[in-house]
Structure formats: C-alpha cells, structure tokens
Amino acid sequence: MADIKKIAVLGSGVMGSGIAAHAANAGLEVLLLDIVKPGEKNRNFLTEKAIERQLEAKPASGFTHKKNARRVTCGNLEDDLGKLKDCDWIIEAVLEKLEVKQDVYKKIDAARKIGSIVSSNTSTLPIHELMNGLPAGFAGDFMITHFFNPPRFMRLLEVVKGKDTRAEAFDAIRAFADVTLGKGVVECKDTPGFIANRIGVFWMMLGLLEAVRLGIPVEAADAVMGKPVGIPKTGVFGLFDLIGIDLMPLIAREMLHTLPKDDPFVKIYQEPPLVTKMIADGYTGRKGKGGFYKLEKDGEKKIKKVIDLKTGEYYAQPKKVELASVAAGKQGLRAVVESPDIGGQYAWAVLSGTLHYAAMLIPEISDSIADVDAAMKTGYAWKFGPFEMMDKLGVDWFTEKLAAEKIPLPPILEKARGKTLYKMENGQRSAITVGGAYQPLIPPKGSLMLADIKLGRKPVQKNASASLWDLGDGVAGLEFTSKMNSIDLDILGMIENAVALVKKDFKGLVLGSDGDNFSVGANLGLMLMAANLAAWKDISEMITRGQAATMALKYAPFPVVASLSGMALGGGCEMVLHSNAVAAHIESYPGLVEVGVGLIPAWGGCKEMLVRTLGQKEVKGGMIGSLMATGGAMPAISKVFEQIAMAKVAGSAEQARDMKILREDDRITMNRTRVLADAKARCLEMAKNYTPPTPAALHLPGGTARVALSIAVDGFAKAGKATPHDVVVSKALARVLSGGDTDMADALTEQQVLALEHEAFMELVKTRGTLARIEHMLETGKPLRN
C-alpha cells in the first residue's frame, strides 16, 4: 500500500470539506484549498468557513472528534499551490464544469511532486474528457475517486481509471481507501453516472413517475418501497426530500447529455409539472420550505404533512399505512411484488424496471454483478443489491414475468436461466459472469465478516438469541442474534456456556456480529412484562445473571475482545466495558443510557466506570464544577455521575475513548468489514501468556459524596432542569457511585459495588415513574420526561 501521509483537497464545498474532514478523521494531514473570495480581506475565508461549518454541524456529519480539525490546514489557490509539493494524493472537488477542472489540473501539474496521485471527485464527467489535452505524465497519475455524501458515513467510493492511469497508482488508492479511509471501493467503467447513480437515479425517477401513474399516495409509496423491499425507510420521496428535489433536473440534465438516446432513462424521463412548481415555490425538500413531506406547527406540536401528487395540496400524514403489500415484507420480496393491492403494483412496476435496467447495464458499467450490488448497498444503503434481489425473486420467475410483459431479456439473465446469479459451493460464494460461468468472490485481505465464517458451517452452539462460532486459529466468536441484539436470558445463558467452552477448547473469545448495532441493551419488553406481573424475583435473577456474565467475561482465564460497531447501549455497553479489549469501528456509539427509562446500570456499568475514572491522574471537565474542584475521589465520581445521569452516548469511537468506555490502547478501525479481523488479531496477541486482570479495590467517600451530589441534583430540579423522577433516579445513582455507607478508609470490592447497583435497580424498577418511562420508550422509542 502506498505511503500516503498528506492529502490535498481542492474545493471546499460540501463534498470537498467533507472529504477533508474524513481524511483528518483517518489521521492524515490535509491541505484544503479554494479560490480567494472577491472582496474578502481574509484570503482563506472560504476554506476556514467550510471547516467551521463541519465543526458546527449537528448531528456531526464531518469530524468524528473536534480535535481532528487541527489536522486540516486552510489555504487558497493563489497563495498556497506551492504546498502541493508536500502532498501524496491531491483530490479535486471543484465545480462540475470541464473547463474549470482542466484549468485546475494545469495548476496542480505545475506545483505537485513527481509521482503524486491526482483524482477527481466528479460524479458526472467521464475521465476521457477530463484528460483531453493534458500531458501524458499527468494522465498516468490521474483517476476518478467519487465519494458519496456525507463522506464520513457513506461507505461507497467509486474509482475509475483512464487508459493511461498507472496500474500501481490505481491499486495504491484502492488499497489506501479501503484500509485507511474505510471505504467500500468499487471499480467502475468510464460511463455516465458510473454505477450507483446510474441505477439509483433511474430508480428514483421511475419511483416518482409510477407513483403519479398509479395514483398511490406518497406515504404509501415510501412505506412499500422501504423496509419491505430492503431499502431505507426514506423510500423514494423521502430520499428526494433528503438530497434536494431541485437537484433532480440538474442531475437529469447531465445524464440526458451523456447517455445514449436509446437508454431507458432517456426514454422515461420527464419532469412532472407538480415538481417544477414545487421547485419554483421553494419546496425543495428538507433544506427548503418542505418537499413531498413537510412539518407544520400547530401550537406547541409539529404535524407532518404529505403532498397530494394530483392536487399539490398537503394533508396530515396517516399514523400508519395499512397495506397488505407492506405487511407482506415479512414473507419476502416476492410476496411484496405479488400483492394485488396498489402497493404491490407499485413495488413490481418500480423494482421490475430497476432490476431489468441494472441487468441491461452488464457489462457496460461493470463486468461484475457483485460490484454492482456492492455499489447499491454501500452508496444507497440498500440491504440487497439488484442482482441479489433477482435471486430472492427467483431468476426463472423474474424472467418469465418479464417475458409475459414482452420485455426483452438482457444477456446476463439469458445466461442465468435455470440457475441463480449467485451460488454457494463448498463454503465458497461465487457470482455469475458475463459468459455464464461462476467466479469465486474473494474478500480483500484483512477483511472478515461473520457471514464469511458461516458459509457452509454450523455453529459450535446455538440458542434462540445467540450463536457461538469457530473463527479459526483458536478463537471463538459469540454472536447475538436477537432483534437489535437486545440482551435476554438466552444471551446470558450463552455467555455462561461460552466461557466454559472457550476455557476448554479455544484461546480466546470475540463478542460481535454483522448487525448494524452491537447491542441496544437489555430486552425492556421482557422486563416490563415481568414488572406488570410483579415477578420481582425474576427481574432480580436477571440482574444477578447479568452481573455474573459480565464478571465472567472480565475475569475469564482467556482474553475477551469486543468487536464493536454501531450502538452499544445500556447492557450492551456494559458487555463492552467488561471485555478485556475492544476493536471498534470508528462509527461506534456506546453509552450507559439506563436513566432514560428510570433505571441505573446494574450489570457493572457504574462499577466499571468508577474503576476506570478513579484510576485517572487528572479528571477534567464536568457539569458540576464545584464538585470537580474538591479533589480526591470527588472529581472522578462527579464525572461518572454526569455521564450516566445525562445518558451520554459517544458520537464516535474517539469520543468513546474520551468517555473512558474505550481504553487508550483499544483499537479503532475505519472500515466496518475489518473490525472483526482486527478483534480476532487482538485476541490472538493477548492470548500469548495471558493473565486475567487483578480485581479492583475502590475507595469511595460514602455519605459526603452522596450529599454533595444530592445537593447538585436538587439545584437542577429547582432550576427546572430535572423532573421529579429524574431526582429519584439521580439520587439512587448517587448512592451507588458514592459507595453507599462506606468511607474513604474502607476498600470496597467490585462485588460490593455490584450489590449496590442491584439494590438501587430493584428499588427503581418498582416505581410507577420508571414503569411509565419503560412503557413510553417501548411505544415511541423516545424517553419520557416525568
């Protein structure tokens, strides 16, 4: 892999500044340049304001930690071109105008060092036009690297090489973007819209036109063209609102200019009069007055309204779309498109057209159906790519339906008759090629997903909510499989079994799965059911078993490593805290959030945060400033109190490190597909001469700390910043964190702090205020302020 240490980004718009921020997140030094704004005294005004916007964005869509902005040096294209000589990769992200880009390339070529790589973030211009008339040496170092917005979150990077691009330069960027930037890299041919937008824009346009033709309401169209078919819940119209309706004609204009006249997009494209009027009136989506959806205030409430595609009038969005086709999503994709209702008709019209179009584009846009599927999954967040969807429908069923509608079959589907587009053989997944043969799909070196492990294998042990897998090389993997990986008694039981099995047959254990989230915490539904039945012994038993599970993980005679990605909330966070090490995806969001439902962490979260924070040489920050200044254990206790009482959730793995949920030596990985491999490697490193940690002894102030924290809580209540039940929960938390009836002369064991957690939890779960919070969370997904 190329030794790329410094990157330059030319153009500080939304994409340019986003790319700069993402590169800084990856630990790279970044030079950000743009034009000098006419009439502005500060010659770096545009780039400095761009970084300010990235820092101020809420939620943060650029920087994973504010400190990363220090890695970006702002400059301008008049004074600072000479600094390009220090850059290894130069990314152009200026206006989508050929003459502007080519002028910038001439300036880059005059200033850059020999062998530096140059790329364009263009989404529409072909590489052969970009390179027309430029020196052969420059063309050899040039390629297209098309990032998706926002670069921090969107994994897809489409790469396009020209006829003169050096193979070693192209391979270097592919590898670097994968490992260092965390991208899902897909090679595309030099065709309009490349892969994802070529198919995605067609799908969106077809979705709009078919909704108008069929007369299906906007909210119904999105309901069926969302989760039931494996597409994000925004569907078509929600996505238009998200990206901006006014972009539709701009993107279409570029596509119409470059696509052949017989392309299906050219044939179907039209701009409905309603859309033209919406754009003219400022209804361009979320960035405007509204779009296909809009929010209107009604007193203190906000009402979501939807546009009528026929009349242009808005109406209140129904709470739920009642369509058999939406419910059919649980039975699979074919059940959705076979539904006779209007949702089924819409789903078939849009998906059949989109899937047929994708098949037509092989081999024009790519020779690989797997690359096309990967582009749609990482660029548009589809759960399944178009060719995977065809397999789910059944290739023969799909082709017969197309034939019945007198739609000609693309060559790739002719080759797949009587077959599947993907097949599994001897634990190896393969994809059909243009010639009809199958080609094995080999993951990049260092990439590992649990799905790869599962191919053709059976788990070591399994129950309804968890599975234990052999990851190879003497490492076992414990996978949570419940809904959103919520923790129940089956998972706790599997932890108990895993500890015994790994001790006997393996070197170490990795906790993790391929799911979007590590775990959203304990199963609240089961807890509420038990509470409503006054089954307090059952709840107490779950706390006891949860504490036993976390302590078994922490003090196992082998290393336990958490493979962390997405949310790790409440009990999920406690599992992470009790692992001996963590390999975390940069987009990890752990936090102890139990107070949101009127509880406190009781599987060792309070205890473990005290252990980690009391061990700090210096504790900075904190809401309760007077307590932070008292010295001794109080700064650490007040810091932990604030973090738990406010249900803080880290916005990235870097922030989790600041919060002491991750240790300083825990590893952060940029690419989601490499986290499990990194966790396994860390486990094997630790397994050599492994010794479990020494149990901690905690010296806590007892009553003095409890009183101080309680006074602070009462102050917040008087100021209207804490509700009556907040006070109840916070004072229970204060008792645990202060050590109960202890004082600084006593040393509390971890088990004694666990007992305090258990006691406080059981007191709170019996209160009406807490049960109301749990019910509200289960019904709405939002915390109740009572």
pLDDT tens, 488-515? 999 999 999 999 999 999 999 999 999 9
pLDDT > 70: percent of the chain: 98
The residue type of 714 is: D
Quick one: pLDDT band at residue 616, thresholds 50, 70, 90?
low
Quick one: pLDDT band at residue 609, thresholds 50, 70, 90?
very high
| pLDDT at residue 629, rounded to an integer | 41
| pLDDT at residue 627, rounded to an integer | 43
Long-range contacts of 165-173 (CB under 8 A, 24+ apart): 165/139, 165/140, 165/141, 166/140, 166/141, 169/2, 169/117, 169/140, 169/141, 169/143, 170/143, 172/1, 172/2, 172/4, 172/117, 173/2, 173/89, 173/117, 173/119, 173/143, 173/145
Residue 292, pLDDT above cutoff 60: yes
The string of DSSP codes covering 582-637 is EEEEEEEEEE--GGGGT----SSHHHHHHHHHHT-S-----S-HHHHTS-TTHHHH
Instruction: Look up residue 166 and give its two tokens.
Output: 């050096």
The string of DSSP codes covering 527-568 is HHHHHHTT-HHHHHHHHHHHHHHHHHHHT-SS-EEEEEEEEE
| pLDDT at residue 633, rounded to an integer | 87
Quick one: pLDDT band at residue 425, thresholds 50, 70, 90?
confident
Residue 461, pLDDT above cutoff 90: yes
Average pLDDT over residues 102-123: 96
The vertex-472 CA angle with 682 and 510, nearest 5°, equals: 45
Instruction: Look up residue 312 and give its two tokens.
Output: 């242009």
pLDDT tens, 555-579? 999 999 999 999 999 999 999 999 9
- With tokens 């932890």, the residue in question is 495
Residue 26, pLDDT above cutoff 80: yes
Mean pLDDT in the chain? 95
* CA–CA dist 454, 479 (Å, integer): 11
Collapsing DSSP states into helix, strand and coil, what is residue 6? strand
| pLDDT at residue 340, rounded to an integer | 97
Average pLDDT over residues 732-755: 95
| pLDDT at residue 628, rounded to an integer | 42
| pLDDT at residue 264, rounded to an integer | 96
| pLDDT at residue 516, rounded to an integer | 94
| pLDDT at residue 786, rounded to an integer | 83
Q: Which comes out higher in pLDDT, residue 652 or 125?
A: 652
* DSSP 8-class letter at 37: P
* DSSP 8-class letter at 695: P
| pLDDT at residue 615, rounded to an integer | 73
pLDDT tens, 532-552? 999 999 999 999 999 999 999
pLDDT tens, 268-285? 999 999 999 999 999 999
> 597, 774 in Cβ contact below 8 A?
yes
Question: Per residue, what are the HEC states of 346-400?
Answer: HHHHHHHHHHHHHHHCCCCCCCCHHHHHHHHHHHCCCCCCHHHHHHHHCHHHHHH
Average pLDDT over residues 78-83: 97
pLDDT tens, 139-167? 999 999 999 999 999 999 999 999 999 99
Average pLDDT over residues 234-244: 95
The vertex-431 CA angle with 430 and 437, nearest 5°, equals: 95
The residue type of 186 is: V
pLDDT tens, 311-370? 999 999 998 999 999 999 999 999 999 999 999 999 999 999 999 999 999 999 999 999
| pLDDT at residue 782, rounded to an integer | 87
* CA–CA dist 40, 247 (Å, integer): 29
pLDDT tens, 634-676? 999 999 999 999 999 999 999 999 999 999 999 999 999 999 9
